[in-house]
């Protein structure tokens, strides 16, 4: 048995068809972890969809209702960049429920791992960049509402700036946001996070790890979060179709271990979401995400 639970639902697949976002990756990750012998069926928990009221801790009521009822206008659909369907909507509600559940499990087990989520481009009143509901922000607000935590730190390592998350928490002293991303990449407008690490095209393993480590140490030491939300994008990979950094698969696993090690050092539980990953070979994306779970287990077992 694993020292933490893996949160997964077949409904995480957004059913996008031939889209650059391979949302079938969630099922493939689950299957890989089972096939590798890393996990057993008993290691998985199935989430319920988030309640509308939970989503509205972050999102405007009108956005939640239009999304749910299929009444988005043309410009909203264009900005979202994925085809609309009720299965897509169900996937976002489930992802948010999964991240809430994973955050609760993190407080219990030290790590909570959602095989999904990380939709960091969603703003309170609109979605963009394949992201309709900001599940990470929703989970933080839910745990704050329940008085489980007061302070949270977001460590966003997706290749794209976490603009929605930065927008949600702008000016909020209870949430520390860190985004390390390729500067010359989506989105064009990048609202300021607490710490932004803007990487030039082609940055590789060593530069990335050095800058991420310094920023994480600063944030955890000075802010003293009670929960770290780790947005573990696979798209800094050197063969990602939507990225322009040069990290290797080994470098990405070192990245994961770095974050988990620092969180353990500071006694902070970690909730993991997976965010982006668009490798030319989808199996590489599956490997990178699976390695994140393996890195978490390696760090917990060393306790």
Catalytic (active-site) positions: 121
Contact yes or no for 85/47 (Cβ under 8 A)? no
The C-alpha atoms of residue 214 and residue 262 are separated, in whole angstroms, by: 10
H helices of 81-193, in order, are: 86-109, 135-145, 163-168
Dihedral sign for Cα atoms in the order 259, 216, 288, 31: positive
Give the strand pairing for 44-45 and 270-273: unpaired
**The tokens 């990225």 sit on which residue?**
243
Left, alpha or beta for 13 (phi > 0: left; psi -120 to 50: alpha)?
A: beta
Residue with tokens 């085809």: 83
Nearest to 168 by CA among 54, 51, 60, 277: 60
Q: Among 100, 121, 103, 122, which residue's Cα sits nearest to residue 112?
A: 103
Q: What are the two backbone dihedrals, phi and then psi, of residue 139, each rounded to the nearest 5 degrees?
A: -65, -40
* CB-CB contact of 282 with 25 (8 Å): yes
- CB 240, CB 234: distance < 8 Å: yes
Q: How far apart are CA 80 and CA 85, in angstroms?
A: 12
């Amino acid at each position: 048995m694993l020292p933490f639970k893996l949160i997964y639902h077949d409904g995480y697949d957004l059913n996008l068809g031939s889209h650059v976002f391979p949302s079938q990756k969630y099922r493939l990750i689950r299957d890989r972890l089972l096939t590798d012998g890393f996990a057993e069926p008993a290691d998985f928990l199935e989430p319920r969809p988030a309640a509308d009221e939970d989503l509205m801790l972050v999102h405007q009521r009108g956005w939640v209702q239009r999304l749910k009822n299929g009444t988005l206008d043309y410009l909203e659909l264009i900005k979202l960049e994925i085809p609309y369907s009720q299965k897509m909507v169900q996937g976002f509600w489930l992802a948010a429920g999964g991240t809430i559940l994973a955050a609760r499990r993190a407080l219990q087990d030290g790590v909570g791992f959602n095989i999904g989520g990380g939709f960091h481009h969603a703003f309170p009143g609109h979605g963009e960049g394949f992201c309709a509901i900001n599940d990470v922000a929703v989970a933080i607000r839910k745990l704050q509402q329940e008085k489980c935590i007061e302070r949270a730190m977001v460590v966003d390592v997706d290749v794209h700036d976490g603009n929605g998350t930065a927008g949600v928490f702008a000016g909020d002293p209870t949430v520390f946001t860190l985004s390390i991303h390729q500067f010359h990449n989506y989105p064009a407008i990048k609202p300021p996070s607490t710490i932004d690490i803007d990487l030039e095209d082609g940055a590789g393993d060593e530069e990335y790890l050095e800058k991420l480590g310094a920023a994480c140490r600063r944030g955890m030491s000075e802010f003293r979060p009670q929960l770290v939300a780790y947005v573990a994008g696979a798209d800094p990979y050197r063969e990602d179709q939507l990225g322009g950094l040069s990290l290797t698969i080994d470098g990405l696993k070192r990245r994961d271990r770095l974050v988990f090690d620092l969180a353990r050092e500071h006694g902070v539980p970690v909730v993991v979401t997976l965010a982006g990953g668009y490798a030319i070979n989808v199996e590489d994306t599956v490997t990178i995400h699976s390695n994140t779970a393996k890195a978490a287990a390696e760090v917990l077992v060393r306790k």
